[in-house]
A and B are shown apart, each in its own frame.
Chain A
Amino acid sequence: MDFALTDEHRMAQKMVRDFSQKEVAPVIKGYDRLQEMAPFVLPRMAELGILGICIPVKYGGQGMDYLSLGLACEELEAVDTTLRVVMSVHTGLCSMTILQWGTEEQKQKFLVPLARGEKIGAGAFTEPGAGSDFGNIQAAGKRDGDAFILNGEKMWISLATKADYAVLTVRTIPDAGQPHQGLTSFIVDLKSPGVTVGDIHGKLGVRAGSTGWINLRDVRVPAANMIGDEGEGFKVTMSAFDSGRYTVAAGAAGLIRAALEASVAYANERRAFGKPIAEYQLIQAKIARMALEYDVARLLYLKAGWLKNKGIRNTRETSAAKWFATEKSFEAANEAIQIHGAYGFSDEYDVERYMRNARGAVIYEGSNEIQHLIQASYALGRRRDKPLRREMPAYDPDEWQAE
């Protein structure tokens, strides 16, 4: 067993850290207050190759492995959650789903520009009336010759107003035996006639990000844009979550780290009753817990990344990493506020933003209640992963880096 990161991992980690610390950290508070995404974020992440980090070079990506994706997410969210959200939806939900399920033609047409960052992608699954109960989504598609006509509404979609494409799941077989067997996924060009999008404001956190809705009214999508087969949409969507949740877990580890570092710095500096508050055991207990939970969260996501590299199914491990890291990131940020006292309650310090940002991840990409059920179903032997028709490919450096 080897816990060491390779030179490649360390250099990738440092590059993403330098970008987020130098370019985003100094301005993020302003954009968070404005509830706007910094306009340079997407083009800069595209230019630096971050958006296509783990996609093979032949599909326009950078040919790095899944661990590099996790390390990048940790660095991004250590500065602001909205940066990691970009990776979750553009890279995780959209690009990686096309990498896993797409045909060669779909990869050439959609994945190449996505991995290069020339186009931005999203994953559109949740609806106003269905999130955790995904099998009961209402958006529908009806075949019309060589196309499907899509109608419905998707809600809480990150990058809805920024994305060019979305991997989007609708119901195309209303009379399927089980509701989830009637779902089908498509790559939808969000510039198509009949698509309208908008941003949602007034969110508790991720305010410097774009979260919105997508309305579909008689949107004609070529059947050639179907991802997977008709009726396979539930499996495609769950695969997308295996990728998306991994990025959320890694990012949440970064948020714990940020909360820990802010707390350590403040506890050493702030004095009470004649000495730095770091000298008090109640403060030390909070810091010790954050340090431990950062280690655990990191080990959990790195293990999931290692499994991904090996091509081993990791739904259980990824779910566990997401559950633990997001829950602990919220607790760490909350405790960081407590350590900062009244200052932590103001946006003069970053920790209140960490807490607001951490809260969302306990809900999205499968609420943590759903993660409980997933873990219980594996532990009780009620769930076994059946092989998928198309598995996420194992990382092969030679194949990934071939031109």
Chain B
Amino acid sequence: MKIVVCVKQVPDTAAQVVVENGQVSWGDAPLVINPWDEYAVEAALQKAGDHGGSVTVISMGKENETEALKHALAMGCNEAILVSDPALGSSDNVAAARVLAAAIRNVGDVDLAFFGKQAVDSDTGTLPGMVARILGWPALTLVSAISVLSAEAIKVERAIEEGRQVVESKLPVVVSVTKDYGEPRYPSFMGIRKAARAEIPIWDLGQLGIEAPAPVISWPEMMNPPRREVTTEIIAGDSPQDIAAKLADKIMAEKVL
């Protein structure tokens, strides 16, 4: 079974992200693998472990942006590929989807392409569906469990707002994974040593056989959200019941409920 997992490099979630001079900045905070993608890597590794096969991790970014790929290699992925090209400046999701779909095609004979359910920076959650559309594959999004997987078909459970939905599909498919799938493993020391030494091949657009996709979205203006002034009031009372009653009255009066 040939499995691909797509990962994104994002600022650490502990970073303070601000807009400075119209540009998003996260200071000197480190770039890490998108936390949602760790679940996707875990799912890919589990399935490769259960069914035999290899996991190729793909990321799109600048030439030196290999942190997320190395993390995935250290977790146990077999090989990593960075898609990088100077023509890919500020890509939107449409452009990213076209490039990643081309990269998946270029790997060849892929059965499963895993994604995290969204990226913590752009937060759109649309990329897996768009890649699936371009590839012409079914998109199984928000997957919390894979109950059946054979050489031809897959059965998954989707975690949707209304509850759980069981979906069956033929392979190949695109799967986006939620947190419910299970805690991602830590990198092993053996994986770390392998990842640290790995020479990660870079595929440019020429190798993918595509032109730089024109972005359809632009960001004419970016601004920090307005600061919210928060006032704190400590509610005192004779007993917890008394305090709770006063708090309930306040909540009702403020029309919070």
Minimum C-beta distance from A74 to chain B (A): 17
Instruction: Please pick, from B71, B186, B188, B192, the residue contacting A8 in the complex, using a CB distance under 8 A.
Output: B192
Nearest opposing residue in chain A for B189, CB measure: A62
Q: How many A-B residue pairs have CB under 8 A?
A: 40
Q: How far is the CA of A18 from the CA of B188 in the complex (A)?
A: 12
- Cα separation A12 to B70 with both chains bound (whole Å): 12
A7 at the interface (CB under 8 A from B): yes
Q: In this complex, what residue of B is CB-closest to A62?
A: B189
Q: Are B189 and A7 in contact (CB under 8 A)?
A: no
Tell whether, in the assembled complex, residue B70 and residue A11 are in contact, meaning their CB atoms are under 8 Å apart: yes
Chain B residues, CB < 8 A from A86 = none
Shortest C-beta distance, A291 to chain B (Å), equals 16
Task: Tell whether, in the assembled complex, residue A12 and residue B189 are in contact, meaning their CB atoms are under 8 Å apart.
Answer: yes
The reply on A366 being an interface residue by CB < 8 A is no
Contacts of B190 in A (CB 8 A): 49, 62-63
Shortest Cβ gap from B76 to chain A (Å): 13
The reply to whether the CB of B74 lies closer than 8 angstroms to some CB of chain A is yes
**CB of B125 closer than 8 Å to a CB of A:** no
Residue of A11, A48, A63, A64 near B195 (CB, 8 A) is A11
Q: Does chain A have a CB within 8 A of B107?
A: no
Let me know if B186 and A12 touch, CB within 8 A: no
Contact, CB under 8 Å: B192 / A48: no
Q: What distance in Å separates the Cβ of B11 from its nearest Cβ neighbour in chain A?
A: 15
Contact with A along B155-192 (1 / 0, CB 8 A): 00000000000000000000000000000001111101
CB < 8 Å neighbour of A48 from B70, B186, B193, B196: B186
With A63-B193, A64-B193 as known contacts, state yes or no: A7 contacts B70, CB within 8 Å: yes
A53 sits at the interface (CB 8 A)? yes
Residues of A within 8 A of B192 (CB): 8, 11-12, 15, 64
Q: Which residues of B contact A12 (CB under 8 A)?
A: 189, 192
Task: Note all chain B residues with C-beta closer than 8 A to A64.
Answer: 189, 192-193
Docked complex: A247-306 residues within 8 A CB-CB of B: none
Most buried by A among B70, B188, B192, B195: B192
How far apart sit A368 and B187, CA to CA, in the bound complex (Å)?
Answer: 37
Instruction: Known A8-B193, A64-B193; judge A49-B188 contact (CB<8 A).
Output: yes
- The interface on chain B, measured as residues whose beta carbon lies within 8 A of the other chain's beta carbons, has a size of 12
Closest to A57 in B: B190
Query: Which residues from B are CB-within-8-Å of A8?
Result: 192-193, 196
Contact assessment for B196 and A7 in the assembled complex, using a CB-CB cutoff below 8 Å: yes
In angstroms, Cα B104 to Cα A158, docked, is 53
Q: Is A401 an interface residue (CB 8 A)?
A: yes
A18 to chain B, nearest CB (A): 6
Nearest residue (CB) in B for A68 is B189
- A18 near B189: Cβ-Cβ < 8 Å: no
Check if B189 sits within 8 Å of A49, measured CB to CB: yes
In chain B, residues 73-107, which have Cβ atoms closer than 8 Å to a Cβ of chain A? 74
For B70, B188, B189, B193, the residue with the greatest tally of chain A CB atoms inside 10 Å of its CB is B189
Given contacts A11-B70, A11-B74, contact A18 B193 (CB under 8 A): no
CB 8 Å contact bits of B192-224 with A (1 = contact, 0 = none): 110110000000000000000000000000000
Within 8 A of B (CB), among A42-60: 48-49, 53
Residue A345 at the B interface, CB < 8 A? no
**A178 on interface, CB distance cutoff 8 Å:** no
Tell me whether A31 is interfacial, beta carbon within 8 Å: no
Residues of B within 8 A of A53 (CB): 189
In the assembled complex, the CB of A73 is this many whole angstroms from the nearest CB of chain B, namely: 15
Question: Which A9-33 residues have C-beta < 8 A from chain B?
Answer: 11-12, 14-15, 18-19
Chain B nearest CB from A237 CB (Å) reads 29
> Chain B nearest CB: distance from A395 CB in Å?
13
Q: How far is the CB of B32 from chain A (nearest CB, A)?
A: 8
Q: Which residues of B contact A18 (CB under 8 A)?
A: 186
Most chain A beta carbons < 10 A, residue from B70, B71, B193, B196: B193
User: In the complex, what distance in Å separates the CA atom of A53 from the CA atom of B195?
Assistant: 16
User: Of all chain A residues, which has the CB nearest B186?
Assistant: A15
**How far is the CB of A279 from the nearest CB of chain B, in Å?**
18
Q: Is there contact, CB below 8 Å, between A6 and B196?
A: yes
Name B74's closest neighbour in chain A (CB-CB).
A11
CB-CB contacts of B51-86 with A at 8 A, as 1s and 0s?
000000000000000000011001000000000000
**Chain A's nearest CB lies how many Å from the CB of B98?**
31
Q: Write the chain A residue with the least CB distance to B32.
A: A14
Per the bound structure, the CA–CA distance linking A63 and B74 in Å amounts to 15
Q: Which residues of the other chain, B, contact A62 by a CB distance below 8 angstroms?
A: 189-190, 193
CB-based contact A11/B188 at 8 Å: no
List residues of chain A with CB within 8 A of the CB of B195.
7, 11
Output the nearest chain B residue to A8 by Cβ-Cβ distance. Answer: B196
* Interface mask (A389-403 → B, CB under 8 Å = 1, otherwise 0): 000000000000100
A7, A18, A49, A62: most-surrounded residue (chain B CB, <10 A)? A7
Tell me if B70 and A15 are in contact (CB < 8 A): no
Which residues of A lie under 8 Å from residue B187 when comparing CB positions? 11, 14-15
Q: In the assembled complex, which residues on chain A have CB atoms less than 8 Å from the CB atom of B186?
A: 15, 18-19, 48
Closest B residue, CB atoms, query A49: B189
- 4 further interface pairs, Cβ-Cβ under 8 Å (given A7-B70, A14-B187, A15-B187): A7-B195, A8-B193, A15-B192, A62-B190
Residues of A within 8 A of B (CB): 6-8, 11-12, 14-15, 18-19, 48-49, 53, 62-64, 401
**Pairs across A and B, CB under 8 Å, 29 listed:** A6-B196, A7-B70, A7-B195, A7-B196, A8-B192, A8-B196, A11-B71, A11-B74, A11-B187, A11-B192, A11-B195, A12-B189, A12-B192, A15-B74, A15-B186, A15-B187, A15-B189, A15-B192, A18-B186, A19-B186, A48-B186, A49-B188, A49-B190, A62-B189, A62-B190, A63-B189, A64-B189, A64-B192, A64-B193
Name B's A-contacting residues (CB within 8 A).
Answer: 70-71, 74, 186-190, 192-193, 195-196
List 8 tightest A-B contacts by C-beta distance, closest first.
A62-B189, A8-B196, A7-B196, A11-B192, A49-B189, A15-B186, A15-B187, A11-B74
